[in-house]
A = this chain, B = another copy of it.
């Protein structure tokens, strides 16, 4: 847990670490603004704590009563007989601030602030109130959640410090909702109830004046009673802190599933208006989630379903899905769903198909999906045997059985008792009747909708895949040395590197670059062509000419001294004729590389998560078709290679129309090094792009590099 309650960029004070346990699992609570009416905001928490059997002490503060809903009531916090762990504030903003001061003075460790009227108003007054709240937290180390939040509910202890009405749930409860919206927290809870998935904690963070999303993820990472966190995310305030919290949670064998809105242009616009958050790039969120092993859900139902699946997981699933159904139609529908979810069903090998065929009639299917046909009803042993056989396949990490509970009930129980039962994720889809308890008791995740089952499982499997690729990448000595070089250039007052300097930097990092010599006479040009290798390219170098070819500023395939001299003169003459005012720095001579496929390697710095790396094929592919892949930097060579392979135009690198295959491994190695460098350089740079990187049959060469140093810092 971080040692201060501040976001990055704030100075740290030596204050006690906020005690989140006192907030989430308090042993006593005082409700300030308690109401005897159980339907009112100040009355609901009391009624719910009674209903949910909270065993801690509850005190009320309200000068008008001596007792509220059966709990002792006091005129003010000073009159309390003991110091409660947490204070719940259901009074107006200004009164609330005064009460929190008093609570802090008493030694109350935590506060839940329902009150609105803070920064969300956008007014000077509201912003000042929020600053005061932060100041109290900073001075006292109090754990303050809100303001403008729906509160915190702990269904394990019954501490429901929330005015949302939570319908009781059955089933085991080891899942926490952490939400930046109260309304969405309520919707997620309701959806979980519908899906029969029990929730143990609900945390709504409101304006996040003091504590934010990452604090609670970090808390639940270490909470022994939690396996999974369902998070509704509008904005992450400190990317690295969020990533650290998410990785910690994952390391502890838990799962974070996040529903992040603002994916579309219109949604991002609305999110911006709603949260006034800094405009983080939505893609950066997606890639940060992937890098930290956070599964992204696309909507509330998926958030619930993916989280629910985790309860039934047996280790990290690394293979595909086997499907067994009593209906051929359901087989086809599920084959579609898994293919569209990025996990096409693997075809079983011939031997397994042969074994399955002994139990499946000729008009059924055995290749996966397995259409067991209605024949399966004739013998209750058929399905358990099929599950056992399919479970032996290494290609399968999850098995989905589909049919009505009438047919499946007996086999579920038999499979549960089978000592040879596969140690794999077992899912059952029963579209007809509700047999959830029976299926779950037999160790099956239960769905009554094929699509929801398939989508949740695909998201779950994608994460397992991403995780297998996740690796900590320390910067190499060469990268650190290149960073030092860049720092020196910056200290010397440089704002950007020339093409030549850029290539030197790349070579220091360990990335090959096309040799390049700036010449100033026909003779120098001839010598350069001989020295660098023929054929050569000659290019005009001018800060004023953007499109060199348009003014005859480029000659390709120059061979021999005479041609070099002529090309030099031609370019200058052409430039003088067509761009008479352009300043000319000279002519650049480079070897003419004709056997490379041009790719671009671009870097952008996300304000929340830092450097992101993008690869794409040159020209219209990236610009027009958006055929590019982006990841949070740094990436390993394995991930970089996967980025190339995911491009729609990858075939151009893979021996298109009889061309030799490009050395994608070399390109990936270069991308990995460049991404490490970007992270090491941090805010030294503001722009970084290699375009093009020429990927040749053997090796990859940077032909140009843009490095712009950041102005501030």
Contacts and interface: CB of A to CB of B under 8 A. Distances in A.
A330 interface: yes
Nearest to A181: B329
A209 to B, nearest CB: 16
Interface in A296-328: 298-301, 326-328
Interface stretch (A82-90, A644-652, A693-701): A644-652
A471 to B, nearest CB: 31
A485 interface: no
A327 B262 contact: no
Nearest to A121: B363
A190 B267 CA distance: 34
Contact of A339 (B265, B300, B374, B431): B265
Given A191-B449, A371-B274, A432-B190, A333 B184 contact: yes
Contacts of A269: 335
A369 B270 contact: yes
B327 A181 contact: yes
Contacts of A339: 263-267
Tally of this chain's copies: 2
Contacts of A333: 184, 261, 267, 299-300
Contact of A271 (B180, B270, B332, B452): B332
A652 B620 CA distance: 9
Contacts of A620: 649, 652, 656
A298 B336 CA distance: 10
A332 B262 contact: yes
Contact of A648 (B271, B301, B336, B624): B624
Contact of A432 (B187, B273, B329, B362): B187
Interface residues of A, number: 75
A649 B190 CA distance: 44
A122 interface: yes
A579 to B, nearest CB: 17
Contact of A338 (B266, B332, B452, B626): B266
Contacts of A363: 120-122
Interface in A473-491: none
A336 B183 CA distance: 17
Interface string A617-657: 00010001111000000000000000000001101100010
Contacts of A275: 328
Interface in A397-442: 404, 431-433
7 contacts: A261-B329, A264-B339, A266-B339, A266-B345, A270-B365, A299-B450, A300-B333
Interface of A: 116, 120-122, 180-184, 186-187, 190-191, 194, 232, 234, 261-267, 269-271, 273-275, 298-301, 326-333, 335-340, 344-345, 362-363, 365, 367, 369, 371, 374, 404, 431-433, 448-452, 620, 624-627, 648-649, 651-652, 656
Pick the 9 closest A-B CB pairs, nearest first: A264-B339, A183-B327, A181-B329, A267-B336, A274-B328, A187-B431, A299-B451, A267-B335, A261-B332
Given A264-B344, A300-B451, 17 more contacts: A182-B327, A186-B404, A187-B450, A261-B336, A264-B335, A266-B336, A266-B344, A267-B336, A269-B335, A270-B331, A270-B371, A273-B365, A273-B367, A274-B331, A300-B333, A300-B450, A624-B651
